[in-house]
Amino acid sequence: MTRKRVLAVIATAAAVVAAAGVLSPAVANADPLGEIRGAVNGARAQSTCGPLNYSGQLEGAAQAWVRDAMALDSVNRSFSLVQNDYPGDVRWTRIASGDPTSAATNSLIAGVREGINDCGAVDFGVGMARDDVIDKSFVAVVLGAPKPVVVEAPKPPVKCQPGSPSGAEVPFGQTCQPSPPVPCTEEGSPVKEVPYGQTCPAIPAQTNKIQAAFGEPGLTSVDFTVTNTATLNAACDYVSTTNSINPLVPKKTTRTINVDAGQSATTTFDGAPTLSTYNVTLTCKDASGKQKELLGTVTTSLTW
């Protein structure tokens, strides 16, 4: 071999070594899950379903599964998903092993084809663990579906009491402003107002509100005073009777005596002492006629 050829061989060998040094990091940094994801997506594309979404949460569950299987060198390990790891339901799981990784992946896809064709599965994650001591790869896929979002029906509005300043209704959860009270403006009402929707209580009847008495008789007249303690004007019927045998004494005398509310009225009767006894009945009623009950009745007598 000439010196030139030896140098050429050495140069070629150096180039190969250099190229190997450049390419090795790229190969070492290749995504170990990329081949499995691609196989799952490729199988999904052959179905009538839409593309799958990749889930990091399902990947984590698949990775934990294959690491557990590799540690025991068995694919008969049950899959488990830690509660709340994935906000949905796991629909399909599959694990396989083999060498090389591509062979394990083909076995995996063949075993989970039905799950990949399930249009109800919309998320997936894959896992892979390689045991270089026994030259075996463990691969897994987990397919799931997120739980449907429950949209709560809107709550009906709150109906307000008629007359409320808030109007006819307010949104659910809010409180209607109370309706204003009802004023009780009728004279004599025991209360000024009542809650909205209630009726003002009836005005209590004013009874036993009349007092009456004769004054000291004189030689030619006698006074009769009526006192009205009610808040209503009184119209009183005065009736006097006597059994006197004196022909000058009237057997029956009537008068109408009006007495304003809270006032007194005096009526003067003219006459002379005859030693006659006069029996008097005074009956008073509401002058306006609103109150049906009598304001009072007084019975008295006078000997004059």
Label the pairing between strands 123-131 and 53-54.
parallel
The Cα–Cα gap between 141 and 110 comes to: 12
Residue 7 pLDDT > 60: no
Which pairing describes strands 264-270 and 277-286: parallel, antiparallel, or unpaired? Answer: unpaired
Instruction: Quote the CA–CA distance of 122 and 116 in Å, as a whole number.
Output: 9
Predicted confidence at residue 30, as pLDDT, reads: 65
Mean pLDDT of 26-55: 86
Q: Is the pLDDT of residue 26 over 50?
A: no
Asked if residue 24 has pLDDT above 80, the reply is no
Of 234, 224, 294, nearest in space to 261 by CA? 234
Mean pLDDT over 288-292 rounds to 91
d(CA 182, CA 191): 11
Average pLDDT over residues 94-116: 94
SS3 call for 24: helix
pLDDT band at 82 (very low <50, low <70, confident <90, very high): low
List pLDDT tens digits, range 241-283.
Answer: 998 888 888 999 999 999 999 999 999 999 889 889 999 999 9
Query: Is pLDDT above 90 for 12?
Result: no
Contacts of 52 (CB under 8 A, 6+ apart): 40, 41, 44, 116, 121, 122, 123, 124, 143
First vs last C-alpha separation in the chain: 180
| Whether pTM exceeds 0.75 | no
Higher pLDDT, 22 or 177: 177
pLDDT tier for residue 145 given thresholds of 50, 70 and 90: very high
pLDDT at 155 over 80: yes
Mean pLDDT of the chain: 86
**Dihedral pair phi/psi, residue 23, rounded to 5°:** -80, -25
Residue ranges in the chain assigned as alpha helix (H): 3-28, 34-45, 56-72, 101-111, 113-116
Highest averaged pLDDT of the listed ranges 71-80, 164-173, 190-199, 226-235? 226-235
**Whether residue 36 has pLDDT greater than 90:** yes
Structure confidence by residue, pLDDT tens digits, 169-205: 999 989 999 989 999 988 778 899 999 889 999 888 9
The yes-or-no verdict on residue 9 having pLDDT over 60 is no
Whose structure tokens read 């250099």?
18
Provide the pLDDT for residue 150. 82
Most confident of 29-33, 139-143, 196-200: 139-143
Tokens representing 287 are 């002058």
Contacts of 261 (CB under 8 A, 6+ apart): 228, 230, 231, 232, 233, 234
